[in-house]
Amino acid sequence: MRKTIPSLVTKYLILPLLLLVLTACSQPEVPAYELLERMGITYHVNSDKPFTGSSVEFHQNGRLLSKKNYRDGKSNGLDEVFHANGQLANSVSYREGEQDGPQASFGESGEMLLRANFKSGKRDGLFETFFWENGQLETRTNYKEGKRDGLAEEFYKNGKLKIRYNYRYGKRDGLAEEFCKNGKLHTRRNYKDDTENGPAEWFDENGKLARTSPYDQLVERDGVSYQVNSDEPFTGIALDFHGNGQLRLRYNYKNGKMDGLVEEFRDGKLYWHSDYIDGETVPFKIDENGNFPGPRRCGLGGSVLVLERI
């Protein structure tokens, strides 16, 4: 006997749909206080069988507070939390006890506060947070297998970019920039394997390069100074600058220790100096006439400051 189209529809579409509905309806929905957790598995009270179904909680005003879904004792499916006014507060997707899928959080008026994605319990993809006051984007970070990977940004409440870093497998790698509230660039650095790589740059409020600080490229280990990414004790001159680009400090190093003059400048003039030998020093201050009250004197040769022993 030849089957008609209605019979085929009944067999392959309607019956499976009815079975799905009946199965869903057969899953119990219980108050959350009737569930308990043992060794990471959720059970109904007085039962030794892992719970499959959903739990619910309610606000004092009778509105739904939360609804969680379980399968074989583990969170599975959508978990939702609601504000007292009925607005959705948080929505999280689970798969066999681990966060897997989208997550979203909202304020009482429905404004977005957080938007993210998870895979096998770890952040994966775009992770965003928002200011609750105005809904503006606050942070935006890319993740891969639970680690920052790619661009990470932070913003001011006015929407202007505040910080922009690049990550690779959870470590800073590449260009890192910080900005003023007016959107102008404030600092620029480069990283490699989570360590500063190269000189840092500072910019004034107009976005103009103000100073570069090689001194920032020195690190101290056990009382000995090294250049970043170097295992050889530093020998040479290190400089530090004021925000307006004028020289602030000049250091002399030998075998990783300050050796020779260390000078401080203010308004382009020498203000203070110390003489170091193998890291040890006795400081001298310059008097109001610009002279050293000790075994040194200060002289000016043209526009170049000259220090000489006497």
pLDDT tens for each residue of 156-167: 999 999 999 999
Name which of 50-54, 58-62, 177-181, 269-273 the model is least confident about. Answer: 269-273
Of 56, 7, 3, which Cα lies nearest the Cα of 27?
56
Helix (H/G/I), strand (E/B), else coil: 9: helix
The highest-confidence range among 253-257, 266-270, 291-295, 303-307, by mean pLDDT, is 253-257
Q: Which two tokens stand for residue 48?
A: 């030794």
pLDDT at 232 over 70: yes
Reported confidence tier of residue 285, pLDDT bands at 50, 70, 90: low
Helix (H/G/I), strand (E/B), else coil: 12: helix
Higher pLDDT, 9 or 172: 172
Mean pLDDT, residues 183-196 taken together: 87
pLDDT at 88 over 90: yes
List helix spans (H) across the chain: 5-9, 15-26
3-state helix, strand, coil in the chain (%, to 5): 10, 60, 35
Q: 173 with 179: CB under 8 angstroms?
A: no
Q: 64 with 72: CB under 8 angstroms?
A: no
β-partners of residue 68 are 55
Mean pLDDT, residues 217-231 taken together: 81
Q: String of b and e for 260-286 (b: at least 16 CB within 10 Å)?
A: ebbbbbeeeebeebbbbeeeeeeeeeb
Name which of 99-103, 193-197, 222-226 the model is least confident about. Answer: 193-197
The pTM of the full predicted model, rounded to 2 decimals, is: 0.62
Name which of 12-26, 34-48, 51-65 the model is least confident about. Answer: 12-26
Distance CA 197, CA 171 (A): 13
Distance CA 270, CA 287 (A): 11
Higher pLDDT, 46 or 73: 73
Q: How far is CA 173 from CA 78, 166, 188, 199, 202, in A?
A: 36, 6, 13, 15, 19
Task: Please give the share of the chain, as a percent, with pLDDT higher than 90.
Answer: 47
Name which of 218-232, 270-284, 288-302 the model is least confident about. Answer: 288-302
β-pair type (236-241, 171-179): unpaired
Q: How far is CA 23 from CA 16, 28, 41, 232, in A?
A: 10, 10, 22, 71
Mean pLDDT, residues 86-94 taken together: 97
Distance CA 102, CA 91 (A): 8
Reported confidence tier of residue 122, pLDDT bands at 50, 70, 90: very high
Higher pLDDT, 168 or 289: 168
Q: Which amino acid is at 90?
A: N
C-alpha distance across the termini of the chain, in Å = 121
